[in-house]
Amino acid sequence: MKRRTLLAGGWVISMDRAIGDLRRGDVLIEGERIVAVAPHIEAEAAERVDARDMIVLPGFIDTHRHTWQTCVRHRYADIDPQIYFAEMLGAKGAAFRTEDVYAGTLLGAVSALDAGTTTMLDWSHVQNTPAHADAAILALRDAGIRGIFAHGWPLIEGSSWMSGSERGHPQDICRLRKQYFSSDDQLLTLAMAGRGPEMAQRAVWLQDLRLARELGIRSTIHMGAYARNAQVRAIAQMHEAGVLGDDLTFVHCCCCADDELSMMADAGVTASLGVHCELNAQGIGDIPFDRLLAVGIRPSLSGDTETKCAGDMFTQMRHAFAYYRSWMGGGHSRAANAPPTLTLRDVLEFATMAGAQATGLAHKTGSLTPGKQADIILVRGNDLNLMPVSDAVGAIVLAAHPGNVDSVYVAGRAVKRHGRMLHIDMEALRERALRSQRHVLEEM
């Protein structure tokens, strides 16, 4: 018989509209899956987890994180963005060793889990050699996260890959598909971190998209960050080429034109907004929450790069909520059909179900629905900053932080309990991260 765990007596936010919220409810896990969500469940031979005083909800989903950069956290917010591009996507990125990719990816993924993010798309544009991909995949695996490894390009001769590029996506992605991702029914899946018309020649981006589709994987592409990129009208170009589809996620979209967002919506393209980074990245453009919602796209959220912001999803949600209310309240929106306000639950949905949709995993995660994978977090509602909880969704979106996350389950496996990460040697992780940081900042 499969292992059974009963999360008993919590305030359950299911994010499944058919189930709703339960002021006092139980969640039964069997093996990897959720088998029941109800006010009271009798479960024979189940480990009983006392979830009274806990808020029980689906794990968050981060749809765009440059995880490999985590060991140089918080370094680039206070300086000219051109320096970030020149260093991290230039000389330093080119000199990243496999152990730096491993250390950054492991640290980022473990921190994500610690903060209640059970699924993360690792946007890994540091594929200097095939061994760099192996290192990132190993790190995601060692962290125990549900991960989408989004394979990008090398940073050796980085500009030849990122500006008018004539180089097709590295063929190593075909090896990865065979070697690590022969099944889509596993904890780690594969995507292409692609370039599109802002970075590559037409024949190249067409060929890259064809390759991703031949491999049966999704693609994620940065779009319309900074005004200079908007002039390319990349989405319009892809629309005219007839290649937009629901297997694509576009990141940022800040300066993309309204008609381009409509083209995205018509084709089922999803969006990822790295809210905290976008707010910090002066000049990237206004975050297009209102314009995306006006055309019917419910954006997912992402931590982008911890070199410029906090990666956790509490931060993204809190800033998304405040930004939208301030933006709309201040009369800044020019999107006629944008909803006049956002609710707390809208924002929580961006961090859960919208993320599941943007990673092609809505059948597996994003809500507490019987049959889905048991990706579940417990947040301590009796911590000083949250108690006494009067509105559980409000507590999560407005005030909770990673330190309030008591327990985290990924596919039914506990990776955090009683506020402590399990299975991870924290001292070794810290040393590994420090060593890598020293190399990246000092020795390079």
Site residues for Zn ion per CB under 5 A: 304
Nearer to Zn ion, 260 or 304 (CB): 304
User: CA–CA separation, 316 vs 307, rounded Å?
Assistant: 15
CA nearest neighbour of 274 among 305, 240, 238? 305
β 146-151/188-194 pair status = parallel
In whole angstroms, how close is the CB of 168 to Zn ion at the nearest point?
21
Query: From residue 30, how far is each of 5, 59, 145, 353, 441 by CA, in Å?
Result: 7, 17, 19, 22, 46
Q: Nearest distance from residue 80's CB to Zn ion, in Å?
A: 17
Beta strands 420-421; 413-417: pairing state? antiparallel
Nearer Cβ to Zn ion (67/111): 67
* Rounded distance between C-alpha atoms, residue 58 and residue 30, angstroms: 16
Q: Which of 335, 265, 276 lies closest to 302 in space, CA to CA?
A: 276
Closer Cβ to Zn ion, 32 or 304, answer by number: 304
Minimum gap (Å) between residue 150 Cβ and Zn ion: 10
Alpha carbons 4 and 23: distance in angstroms, whole number: 23
Q: Least separation, in Å, of the C-beta of 65 and Zn ion? A: 8
Using alpha carbons, list the distances in angstroms from residue 86 to 158, 222, 405: 10, 18, 36
d(CA 261, CA 39): 42
Q: Choose between 10 and 104: whose C-beta lies nearer to Zn ion.
A: 104
Give the chain's end-to-end CA distance (angstroms, integer). Answer: 53
Report the residue closest to Zn ion, judged by CB: 304
CB of 75 to Zn ion, least distance (A): 16
Residue 29: both structure tokens together = 């896990």
Buried b (16+ CB within 10 A) or exposed e, 372-405: bbbbbbbbbbebeebeebeebbbbbbbebbbebb
DSSP letter (8 states) at residue 422: S
Supply the minimum distance, in Å, between the C-beta of residue 79 and Zn ion.
17
Closest CB 286 distance from Zn ion, rounded Å: 17
Residue 369 Cβ, how far from Zn ion at the closest point, in Å? Answer: 30
Q: Which residue in this structure is represented by tokens 């931060």? A: 315
**In the complex, minimum distance from the CB of residue 123 to Zn ion, in angstroms, rounded to a whole number:** 6
In angstroms, rounded to a whole number, what is the distance separating the alpha carbons of residues 90 and 104? 17
Distance CA 162, CA 159 (A): 5
Give the whole-angstrom CA distance, residue 410 versus residue 5: 13
